[in-house]
Every structure is written in structure tokens, then in C-alpha cells.
Structure 1
Amino acid sequence: MHHPAKQRIPLLEHPYLKLFQLLMLASLFYFCSGIIQVNKTVKEVAVLSCNYNISTEELTEVRIYWQKDDEMVVAIMSGKEQVWPKYKNRTFTDFTKNLSIVILALRLSDNGKYTCIVQKPEKGSYKVQHMTSVMLLVRADFPVPTITDLGTPSGNIRRIMCSTSGGFPKPHLSWLEHEEELKAINTTVSQDPETELYTISSELDFNITNNHSFVCLVKYGDLTVSQIFSWQK
């Protein structure tokens, strides 16, 4: 009895295969000698290069994918670009510069490994012709703190407030005088749920009958920023 032959579907025919499937196939043909690293800060612009040039005519024939870890970022098929929702309105492909993607207004969540894959048609299916990865590291540095004079709450007591915002990771604020830590009041730390960036503020009361030189020190990770407040009686 004759059984009709099943139609063979090429592995790379589906336009939105996950990155790990493409990497497994590509690893049979390519050896990656290292990953380029791009360092940026939040709200800056990152340009991630695919290191591959094609002509305008070829754009309608190839498939180009940019993925971050296991999620899609951009796909170009038949010369048309599709940007995934998380990156929409802030990410585009620069076809004139090695098929680079440009990410605007960087967020902390943009940290990760981005992989560019170029496929070309060959004998009825799409084959991987080029693959490269770029590691994007996004920092969020706290600006130098601002110290505000809040006036005199009572008698000879003066109150000042130190604050800074827009950094990551979670900060710790200390008031110092002569390298000794002082007792602060009303210290608050908050985090923006969308940007993940922190804001911190703290107040300090002191006696105005003495001279003072206070240091507001903010630590976050291995980094610090500080501001000095001086008082002359």
C-alpha cells in the first residue's frame, strides 16, 4: 500500500522562532570569539551593531531578527520592520549602519544580551548567514545630592534636608560630621515601579549656636555621591 510522503517543513521557515532554536542551528556553523559590550546610562541612546551590511535590493529577500535574551525586539521580513510592544516608539533599525538597532530613552530593564540573526533563502528554506551578539549594560547613577535649609523648627535648632533621585540600586544615606555618623530623621526611600529608579531623602537637626560642617553621603552599590553643608554661627 502506497503512503503519500509527508511534506517536510524547513526548521527556519517560521518567522518568529525563539532565539535558542536559532542559536542551536547557528552554532553548527559559527564560532563566536566574544561579545561586544556597550555601556550606557538610563535615558541615553544605545546603538547596537549587527556588523552586517546588505544592499537595499537584498532587504526584500532576507529576514533579520533582533532578540534580547529570549524575547523578540525587532523583525524585518520582506523589507518591512516590526517592533515588539515593549520597544515600540523608541526602537528602530538603521539599515545604513550595519543593520544596527537604535534604542532611545534607555531603561534599566533594557540590560541584557542582544542577538542579531540574518537569514537568507536557500533551496526553498531560510538559512542562517550571520549571527552576532552585543551585551548592553545600563547604569543609573545618582546625581550629587541637594541640601535644602528647612528653617528653624524650634529655639536654637535648625533643620536641613538632603535628597537625590534617579539612581539604582537601592541607596543608603548617612549624615556625617568629623567622620562620625549622626542621627538622621524622616529618612525615606521610594522606588518608581515603572523605571525602577530610586529617590531618597533625609533630614538633620542641629544646634545653630555651634559651627558645623556636615557631609550627606549616599551609597549605592559600590559607588557614592556626597554633598557638604557648612554652618557658621
Structure 2
Amino acid sequence: MDVKGLAAIITGGGSGLGAETARYLAKAGAKVTVLDLNPETVEAVAAETGGLGISCDVGSAEELEAAVAKAREAHGPCRIAVNCAGIAPAKRIVGRGGAMPLEDFEKVIKVNLIGSFNLMRLAAAEMLAEEPLDDGERGVIISTSSIAGEEGQLGQVAYAASKAGITGMMLPAAREFAKNGVRVLTIAPGLIGTPLLLNMPQDVQDNLAGQVPFPHRFGRPDEFARLVLHICENVMLNAASFRLDGAMRMQ
């Protein structure tokens, strides 16, 4: 797929992995729509990329349906959908205050897993209704999982469950859409140098980075974005999950 001139929708596009992905796709010529809860960051990234910024809750059917409709009106049908929206609060199943409130678990699942499915269903519906591109492809959907989906640590039960669910959706979705030329993939990052990690004390950062076998550092958002662009361009990639972790295995 040549992304030039094609419409792309990126959730979590106001910062971190989503914002960097928006920059890379825009630089390659895609017409980018960024979605995020924070209207200020969304507008800033949209202005930087020459795209469209919409503030919305990815876990809401009504809000995301309205956002996707606005994106279609501005840029045409979605051909590239990238799920980067996510939250990662840490909480044990049973802590000092007793059992984890169920709503805390539900919130993570709603944003990370349901939010990813929400864009998948809406983007796929648009892609399937369109004529194929020159290579027979109608579109590509890329969701962000995590190595925590396989190796979740203490306090990550909700996050790990949500990310394992994202990976679990990938194969049946890819099988469903394959006959119509829509690809579905996931990227499972390890430790990426986003504000969440870079705001930690330096000694904590050094300790975490030292756990990465090679290279001995956090991953960079641009390395994630470059992988997204390559997945878009390489039509042979489908129904696969790519670890972006420097060979790290969480203890």
C-alpha cells in the first residue's frame, strides 16, 4: 500500500506513540485524523501534521461513530486505522484496601480493548465498502498490544488482560477480512520512551533500561511509527503481532 493520499485514523494521537505515528504517516503523504480525549493536544498534533483533530472517547460507540464520520467527510474513507489509545494504571487484584474495585478493571478494558475493537469495526466497515487499491488491498488495521499481554507483572492484571485481548482479536479479524483485502496486525511494544517513563526518576529509568538485552535503552516512538509505516507499505504482512522490545522478557 502506498499511503500517499489515503485517509488514516489514529487513536491516542495527541501524544506518545499515536502522535509520532501521525507525523510519520503525514510525512509519507497520508491524510491524517488524530483522535484523543485531550482537545488541546489533538489540535496541536493536527496542526503540525496538516490533518484533522477530534476530541472523543474511543470507548464510546456514539462519540467514535461521529468522529469517524467527520474524518470521512474531510479525508474520504478510512484506509489506515491505527489504535494507540490506552491507559495503564497499576493496581493489585487484592491490595491493602481490599479487592480491586470492579470499575477500575472495567475502565482499562473499555479504553484499551473495547476502544480498539470500536475503531476496528468502524474502519473495517468503511474499508469493505470501498473498491480495492491497485494491489487488491482495501485497508489495514494496526492495534497496539504490549509484551505485558504475555508477561504481565504484579499490578498489571487489567492492563495485561486488555493487551492480551487485543492480540487475541487479531487473527479471527484478519481471517474474516482477508477475502476482501483488509489486513489486521498488532504491535507489542516493550519499554518505549514516552512521557510515562521519561518522567520517572533517572535511577528508575536506568534500572528499567538496563533490563533490555539490546539495545540497552528504551525504545523510541519513532521506531514504533516506522514499523507502522512499513506494515502499511508491505502488503505481505498480515495476521501477525510484532514485538518491539529489544528482546526484553518481563520478570
What TM-score results when the alignment is normalised by the length of structure 2?
Answer: 0.23
Could you say which structure has the higher helix fraction?
2
Greater share of strand = 1
Q: Which has the higher contact order (CA 8 A, sep 6+)?
A: 2
TM-score (norm 1): 0.25
